[in-house]
Amino acid sequence: MSNIPTFGVGTFRLNGQVVIDSVRNALDVGYRAVDTAQIYGNEAEVGQAIAESSVARGDLFVTTKIWVENYSKNKLAASLQDSLKKLRTDYVDLTLIHWPAPGNGVELSEYMEALAGAKAQGLTRQIGISNFNIELTKQAIAAVGKDQIATNQIELSPYLQGRKLTAFLKEQGIQVTSYMTLAYGKVLKDPVLARIADKHQATVAQVALAWALQLGYAVIPSSTKRENLAGNLLARDLKLDADDMAMIAALERNGREVSPEGLAPIWD
């Protein structure tokens, strides 16, 4: 199993001073893992926030993701070096293929081997995948071996529970990282989650995050508000009981928020 922190801060859709403040506040209140991506256009700002914080690089876990146009073997490592410059670091802890992009013109085996090559060069400590279905995960395993694949970062929330895919990943010993765990805030208005939150004197966000953590997933929620960043972190101390988990299991509705055409696979 990989040693990926179970709690990190996400930076999707955050740019400029907003992302600098978010990452700075996150590090301040105790986060030690930060998730970004080439396509987010905020690696330089994330790097600035990290550089200006008092947290030592060795105590941090930084993840980025390779964007589709950089998948070919002659571009991937160079694009990661560019990311490292922006992030002001000699290495990242984890680098993911952002989307499988089946019709992209670059074979899966080519970009997985290029990613493994970037790891061999020391540009990244671990590698993994994001938004891969079962079939494509099998192909990634065939290309580089399952021990190389630290995680599959996928959209999961109480409304999209991905039981087939997560069971397969668990079987393979591949860590599941859940993104959009709050379904763009949609779950925050859920009456079932609100009842569970009341019972535990917790927030609905904490309940949704605790649900994912209890299933063994890593989470990377984002927030622009310091108090929400701090509040989300408390999900680590919230223990849901079997009744709570069963009630949340019943919320499944295949409520997918993100599935860009041409990039996404055929979902399981």
What angle is formed at CA 198 by the lines to CA 26 and CA 249, rounded to 5 degrees? 85
pLDDT of residue 2: 58
Over the Cα atoms of the chain, what is R_g? Answer: 18
Give catalytic residue positions. 40
Phi, psi angle pair for 7, to nearest 5°: -135, 125
Is the confidence at residue 13, as pLDDT, over 80? Answer: yes
Q: How confident is the model at residue 218 (pLDDT cuts 50, 70, 90)?
A: very high
The domains of the chain are located at: 9-249
pTM: 0.97
Is the confidence at residue 88, as pLDDT, over 90? Answer: yes
Percent pLDDT > 90 in the chain is 98
User: What's the pLDDT tens digit per position in 133-189?
Assistant: 999 999 999 999 999 999 999 999 999 999 999 999 999 999 999 999 999 999 999
Fold assignment, 9-249: TIM Barrel (3.20.20)
For the chain, give the mean pLDDT.
97
